[in-house]
Structure 1
Amino acid sequence: MVPVDDLDRIMAVMITAFPPDYGEAWNRRQVGDALLIGRTRYGLIGADGGEHPEDAETTAGFFLSRSIFDEEELLLFAVAPQYRRRGLGDSLLTRFIAQARAAGMARLFLEMREGNPAGNLYSKHGFQPIGIRPGYYRSTSGERIAAISQELRL
């Protein structure tokens, strides 16, 4: 079970990192429930780049993933806006991939909203588009936006 203070750290980033226009952010219960499932893991990164931020205010980002057999899906990946463009997302994604590789994962997956700027980071790390879900996301204005499924073979 995830320590309550780590759940607080994840939620502090969540409320600032995901634009409310697309409904991508999860609520506290969704995150907590996901972490109760076996083979789900998370990672944190502090504003200083360390893996163990002191508190919610110094937590810059997180990832949440789940695996089955030799495949892992990156469910959530976020860096708080005030900590972006410092290489923290790159460091966090590098760590996620390294840990997956060390755990024997053969393939990693993620889905992202079409036009999400994080796509550049995912591409830099070798993720390749493998499919599109038309109209998967709906903005608060009613606009339908595709989800891009991506894969990284390890």
Structure 2
Amino acid sequence: MRPAAPEDAPALAALHAKAFPPTGRWGADAIRLMLEMPGAFGLHAKGGFVLARVAADEAEILTLAVAPGHRRRGLGGALLAGAMAQAVLRGAAAMFLEVSEANAAARALYAAAGFAEAGRRRRYYPDGADALVLRRDLSPS
């Protein structure tokens, strides 16, 4: 796993396209802009990546993408753990994310990592699914 940089945006967009349906895919320009935001960072591994940002003492997962051929091997959990560790190093005490209520695999990943529902955004996604807002306290240890 290595840090993601703005110049990685085309490769990350290709991974995002494999991991998400057409209406949820992010292009290279969007990913580059995300990585250039203050407080933003990314981690990239073969088959997946995570983008996150830290503002004050809160962190947010912007996206976590794992290509279908690399799923169920622990990559998503490793990317999530790496993002949480980086967030702690950057001063975050809590992490948030949004996940589609319809995405059972992602919800299981986040539940296993200790995330709990903190809110809901009704009909947030293009398919009409609600977004669950999840939160987890972060520990410096």
How does the TM-score come out when normalised to structure 1?
A: 0.81
Quote the residue 2:21 is aligned against: 19
Structure-2 separation of matches of 1:83 and 1:130: 29
Matches within 5 A, 1:22-33: 23-33=23-33
* Structure 1 unaligned residues grouped into runs of 5+: 47-59
* Structure 2 unaligned residues grouped into runs of 5+: none
Please tell me whether Structure 1 or Structure 2 has the larger radius of gyration of its CA atoms.
1
Report the AA paired with residue 68 of structure 1: A
Deviation at 1:3, TM superposition (A): 4.7
Quote the residue 1:114 is aligned against: 101
* Cα RMSD (Å): 1.5
- 8 Å CA contact retained: 2:16, 2:65: yes
Quote the residue 1:150 is aligned against: 134
Deviation above 6 Å: which 4+ runs of structure 1?
none
Percent identity between matched residues is: 37
Q: Equivalent of 1:79, from 66, 71, 74?
A: 66
SS at match of 2:121: strand
SS at match of 2:107: helix
1:3 to 1:32, Cα distance in 2 relative to 1, 3 A: closer
Q: Do structure 1's residue 93 and structure 2's residue 96 form an aligned pair?
A: no
Structure-2 separation of matches of 1:84 and 1:12: 16
Report the AA paired with residue 35 of structure 1: L
Q: Do structure 1's residue 43 and structure 2's residue 43 form an aligned pair?
A: yes
